[in-house]
Amino acid sequence: MKTFAFFALGLVGLGTPVAFSQSRPVVQQAGDCSVNITGNNNTTASLVCNGIDQKLAQQIREIVSSSRKDGKTLQDISQKLDLVLQQIGNIPQKLPPRRIPPDKRDEIVALLGRRPAKASVVAIADNAEAFDLAQDLYDVLKAAGWTMVDETVSVFMVVGRPERGMMIKVHGETVPPGVPFQIPNESPGGTLLQGLQVLNMMPQVNAQRYPDMPENEVRIEVLGQPEN
């Protein structure tokens, strides 16, 4: 019987949740930019960059603009751009918003539909990105035939420094920090985790068991986006 295994960790302000793993950072690579030189005697140069930091983009524009005004040579421009490109690889980039891609929706609905249960979905307050993901999860669960405890996505407040990622609460005896436990695939929580695995969201998922949670119900708490 395949199961999901978790290790419990204490988190301030959230009771005794569990941590699975952390998301990997996304970094800008210098290879995202290329210099194109055309014309006789290399008279025209252009720098093509994909998704670079806005501050660096402005810096590049200022270099090119000032060079034109001062009549500097292409070699001077190239040297300055080389220095900028060296900086790009060290700048962490903002992660894209967490959403359920439209091309994955039918697959997730079909997977969740194998074991319909009850679910509630809530999002941390004052966080549009978290709310949008919570709404996506609510919609696919409802489309898969799950009984939604609430009529809409609710929001909640956290006292103290909030954790990031996602908290899944299921029925069972709460385990102490550092003690592993398993969530069977055929359980409501296991079915939900399989869907999150397809979406590559498992690295940001925490989970914990609570005796007062109904056996046939899961609660999904969408927190802030993990940091780079």
Q: What is the tens place of the pLDDT at every residue in 154-185?
A: 999 988 887 899 999 999 999 887 788 899 99
Residue pair 58/18 in contact (Cβ under 8 Å)? The answer is: no
Q: Write phi, then psi, for 217 (nearest 5 degrees).
A: -145, 145
Q: Provide the residue range defining the domain that includes 194.
A: 3-25+96-222
Average pLDDT for 176-198 = 91
Residue 117 has a pLDDT of 97
Average pLDDT for 85-113 = 84
Which of 88, 105, 130 terminates a domain? The answer is: 88
- pTM, two decimals, is 0.63
In a domain, 228, yes or no: no
- Confidence check: pLDDT of 116 > 60: yes
Give yes or no: residues 117 and 152 share one domain. Answer: yes
Total domain count for the chain?
Answer: 2
Give yes or no: residues 207 and 148 share one domain. Answer: yes
Give yes or no: residues 130 and 191 share one domain. Answer: yes
3-state class (DSSP) for residue 69: helix
In a domain, 12, yes or no: yes
In a domain, 119, yes or no: yes
Give yes or no: residues 81 and 154 share one domain. Answer: no
Q: Which of 201, 145, 180, 142 is nearest to 23 (CA)?
A: 201
In a domain, 141, yes or no: yes
Which of 70, 88, 106 terminates a domain? The answer is: 88
CA 170/CA 23 separation, integer angstroms: 22
Which of 88, 105, 131 terminates a domain? The answer is: 88
In a domain, 227, yes or no: no
- The answer for 126, left when phi > 0, alpha when psi is -120 to 50, beta otherwise, is left
Give yes or no: residues 101 and 207 share one domain. Answer: yes
Residue 10 has a pLDDT of 35
Give yes or no: residues 109 and 171 share one domain. Answer: yes
